[in-house]
Chains A and B, each alone.
Chain A
Amino acid sequence: GAGVSQSPRYKVAKRGQDVALRCDPISGHTALYWYRQSLGQGLEFLIYFQGNSAPDKSGLPSDRFFAERPEGSVSTLKIQRTQQEDSAVYLCASRTVNEQFFGPGTRLTVL
C-alpha cells in the first residue's frame, strides 16, 4: 500500500480532552496538507508543510491547534482542549508537482 494513511480512523473525545491525529504521506512527497471537512461542507485549509517547515499556518482555527512534521515525513495534528465545534473529518494529503492524494481521513467526534 503506497497511499496516504491516517490514524486513528475514528476518534471520540470528551470536551476538553487533547487529541493527536497522525498522517503518513506517500514516500518521497515533500508537500503535506491538512484540511478539515464538516458534514456536508467543503474542505477547509488548515496548514501545509514543505519538508519539515510550515510556510502557511493561516488556516489553523485557533491556538488550540498545532501541527508538526519534524523529520519531513510523518505529520501530527494536535488539538488541545477539544470543543464540540472541532467535530469534523480531518483529511491529510501529500503532493507531487502535478498530483495531490488524500488519505482516508480521521473522523473526530467531540461529545
Chain B
Amino acid sequence: GQNIDQPTEMTATEGAIVQINCTYQTSGFNGLFWYQQHAGEAPTFLSYNVLDGLEEKGRFSSFLSRSKGYSYLLLKELQMKDSASYLCAVNRDDKIIFGKGTRLHILP
C-alpha cells in the first residue's frame, strides 16, 4: 500500500519563502510529482523527481530523499498568485497516487 502525508494548510507572506513537505510510505517507488491547483481548476504540473537531490525551476524547487521517503517543494519570492493547493503524488510502478494536498494562503 501507500501513505502520503502533507500539511493541510500553510500561510506565508508575499515576497517570502515557503517549504511544503511531503512524506510517503510505499512498497514501490519510481518518482514523485508536484502539482499546483487553483480553486476550480485542474492541477498543473510543476516537477517530477526521480533521483535524490534538488531540482530548481525558476522560483520553484523540488527536493527528494528516497531513503527517507521525503520530498519538499520550495517556493521563493512568493506572489499572491501562488495562493493555491499544492499536491504531492507518488509514482508506484506507473500508478500515480496523490496526497490530499496543502492549501497555501499568501498574505500581503
Contacts and interface: CB of A to CB of B under 8 A. Distances in A.
Interface string A69-111: 0000000000000000000000100010011111111000000
A31 B94 contact: yes
Interface of B: 31, 33, 41-45, 48, 50, 87, 89, 94-101
Nearest to A35: B98
A48 B96 contact: yes
A42 interface: yes
Contact of A91 (B31, B42, B48, B89): B42
Nearest to B4: A42
A95 B96 CA distance: 10
Contacts of B44: 102
Contacts of B33: 100
Given A91-B42, A100-B33, A102-B43, A42 B99 contact: yes
Contact of A101 (B45, B97, B98, B101): B45
Contacts of B99: 42
A45 B42 contact: no
Q: Is the interface of B mostly helix, strand, loop or mixed?
A: strand
Contact of A100 (B41, B96, B97, B100): B96
A42 B100 contact: yes
A52 interface: no
A50 interface: yes
B48 A99 contact: yes
Given A91-B42, A101-B45, A102-B43, A56 B87 contact: no
Contacts of A102: 42-45
B48 A103 contact: no
Contacts of B96: 33, 45, 48, 95, 100
Given A33-B96, A42-B101, A105 B42 contact: yes
